[in-house]
Structure 1
């Protein structure tokens, strides 16, 4: 009783000390700049949490009630994962040895202290503050990912969406792959499936795009289809539309990337050829041959560059869409209720359907889930795989950007500088 009274008195004293040093016009400028869109949240130099009581209230308002053991456990899980991410994903081997984790953080017992350390302005605790801020940035990205609804339905989404695409793909005895619908078909050089984006790559993506939340990550699932020549891509696109794999009103327009097809010029030529065919000046065979030779190549314009990821090479040429597909996932509560009802039937011997069940608890949940569909010709594919537009180069640039954003001034600490720090 006496101990709890002392703690309460200490908190009141801390809060009154803070209030005595502030006025109504003590503006939190960093927070203003983030909220007004002038800066991103990862650019904040520190927090403004000076007492344990403030930290507890802040964490509770963020969804972590420290009186709840499961919340503490979840916080500790995110904390441990963030430390591992910084040391084993962002640091080099040499940096892991040079930039020692402060003992206060390595043996963190009270989650509130992490926020207090991230708020300190003491010159001798700058190293501790920078470490704390870096950890909090990564923890924020991890918590966004952990509480995303998409992550929990990805297995059902993969199975349902990939099945829709594979239904139209046929492998011949000579191992040639064909995409076929009704009387139309096209041979494919290669098909690559992105079964799932790894947890590490999603966290990297969230950290390198500071304005993103996890629902802005659209490429959890993906398929890349490669054809021999760029002139085949319009036919492939046509088939994907006809099979409802690409549904126009479910395309996320802001995510479309097109550095392969120029539609305006071919459309004019096609209209002209169609008129010639209708008046008998061209036979069906001549019409098909001329359509085959239409040049569809697209010049990379300013609008395309604006919409392209800043880490994507200008040599990367593809047609890329993000399409949302409706997927249905079983409702666990319905499965439990159904199991209980089946057991009840065995005991009572009454075999009848229970239509009321689905009116009480839905059997399935429905969600829109995005898939990224890429189309390329063979030349563009080889450039993307082995040339200056390779995925490795893209990842390298992304990794460099995330290091700068998360670690920042922490990397400037040398041995001489560390000697002046309390950690």
Structure 2
């Protein structure tokens, strides 16, 4: 029985529906590319994506992304570049591709390609997609300005005494610190790995490209630091991203009542500041999290990692340096108004030149006491362990279907 022609208008790609309306990531779909059968359809898809493969610049960019994805796979996910990588080899046929549209046709399952080649093509396209999101994050052009404006808010309150002791200070409010650390810019590869394991998989959803860690002497000082940041308007509570806040240092539910009792006692007995702080610190010994603390947002953070972490957004102001230079040229042109070049300069519409660019940028603040910081940086909770877990998660995510396919083929061969 022949298939009615009209049915093609009622055929649904349910996996893509899961991505659009079901909250599934495109990286987790079995078929990243589907219903594409020829180069014209690939071209239409890429134009919808925002790239025109018929444009020489876009075509060169796509091919560059393809080459970078291949090298990235070899460097991080295969044994030839990483000791804990997969014992796999990229199919030789992929090295013969000179037009990226052929990669799409391979991923779509054209009959001339083997199943494993198809899956490899999908893996590479997923990584290319991630690389494109990294490259097209407009805010990265202003990164040095972003860092300067965020860090300057903190630097003005940092002081050292004659003995080189570090403090957070405003007027008579002084909090001793062990350390103040700023996170350097993530490497390009680190950003790609992080995006490959994140469900959102878009560069705008990375919140820790800029980061600050404040290490205090005591757990109570962690709370004092947060209070200080709020009071000095360094951190504005209204600009906090709630879903990013984590506290595994102090169980505030337990501490609030104990804190209230110490306040009453200090008023009743006229306690000195030293005795008040000693009483607070005694009570805090009973206000930790016994096991893992509240559910963490990050699957790769060790359950024993202790910190107060939150993400704030800061309004960044970027002054366009070209505008000032252009206005200086216009001023000179007015003095030479009779020349043809001056007339053309004066005729230009300067309203089209962007003046101040303003946008909110997220950054992460971590506050941790000295004891917890030492524990965090040792053993299983170390940063290296965290990065390794993150890389393995990304690897298993993009290679999951290929590994399942190879396992199925091996089982069939044994049978």
Scaled to the shorter chain, the TM-score interval is 0.7 to 0.9
Larger RCO, structures 1/2 (Cα 8 Å, 6+ apart): 1
Q: Tell me the equivalent position of 1:87.
A: 74
Structure 1 contact 252–321 (Cα < 8 Å) conserved:
yes
Q: How far is 1:37 from its partner? A: 2.0
Q: Tell me the equivalent position of 1:11.
A: none
Does residue 390 (structure 1) correspond to residue 379 (structure 2)? The answer is no
Aligned pairs for 1:88-237 within 5 A: 88-93=75-80, 99-120=88-109, 122=111, 125-237=114-226
Query: What's the TM-score, normalizing by structure 2?
Result: 0.84
> Which residue of 275, 282, 304 corresponds with 2:270?
282
> Which residue of 11, 17, 22 corresponds with 1:26?
11
Aligned pairs for 1:227-266 within 5 A: 227-266=216-255
Structure 2 contact 78–89 (Cα < 8 Å) conserved:
no
Q: How far is 1:54 from its partner? A: 1.0
Q: How far is 1:411 from its partner? A: 4.6
Query: What's the TM-score, normalizing by structure 1?
Result: 0.83
Structure 2 CA distance, aligned partners of 1:288 and 1:104?
A: 69
Distance 1:292 1:28, change over 3 A: closer
Aligned pairs for 1:8-87 within 5 A: 23-37=8-22, 39-46=24-31, 47-48=33-34, 49-87=36-74
Q: Which moved more, 1:81-90 or 1:18-27?
A: 18-27
Structure 2 CA distance, aligned partners of 1:101 and 1:292?
A: 58
Aligned pairs for 1:307-318 within 5 A: 307-318=296-307
Distance 1:310 1:98, change over 3 A: closer
Structure 2 CA distance, aligned partners of 1:380 and 1:98?
A: 38
Structure 2 contact 25–201 (Cα < 8 Å) conserved:
no
1:70-111 residue CA offsets vs partner (Å, 9 max, x unmatched): 111221221121111111122122789964433442132222
Q: How far is 1:308 from its partner? A: 2.6
Secondary structure of 1:50's counterpart equals coil
Structure 1 CA distance, aligned partners of 2:91 and 2:4?
A: 30
Distance 1:343 1:294, change over 3 A: farther
Structure 1 CA distance, aligned partners of 2:292 and 2:405?
A: 41
Q: Which moved more, 1:167-176 or 1:243-252?
A: 167-176
Secondary structure of 1:188's counterpart equals strand
Q: Which moved more, 1:336-345 or 1:258-267?
A: 336-345
Structure 1 contact 158–195 (Cα < 8 Å) conserved:
no
Structure 1 CA distance, aligned partners of 2:243 and 2:86?
A: 43
Structure 2 CA distance, aligned partners of 1:343 and 1:104?
A: 60
Q: How far is 1:292 from its partner? A: 4.8
Q: Tell me the equivalent position of 1:7.
A: none
Q: Structure 2: which 5+ residue stretches go unaligned?
A: 339-345, 411-415
Q: Tell me the equivalent position of 2:392.
A: 400
Structure 2 CA distance, aligned partners of 1:82 and 1:19?
A: 41
Q: Tell me the equivalent position of 1:326.
A: 315
Q: How far is 1:413 from its partner? A: 7.8
Q: Structure 1: which 5+ residue stretches go unaligned?
A: 1-17, 419-423
Distance 1:173 1:91, change over 3 A: farther
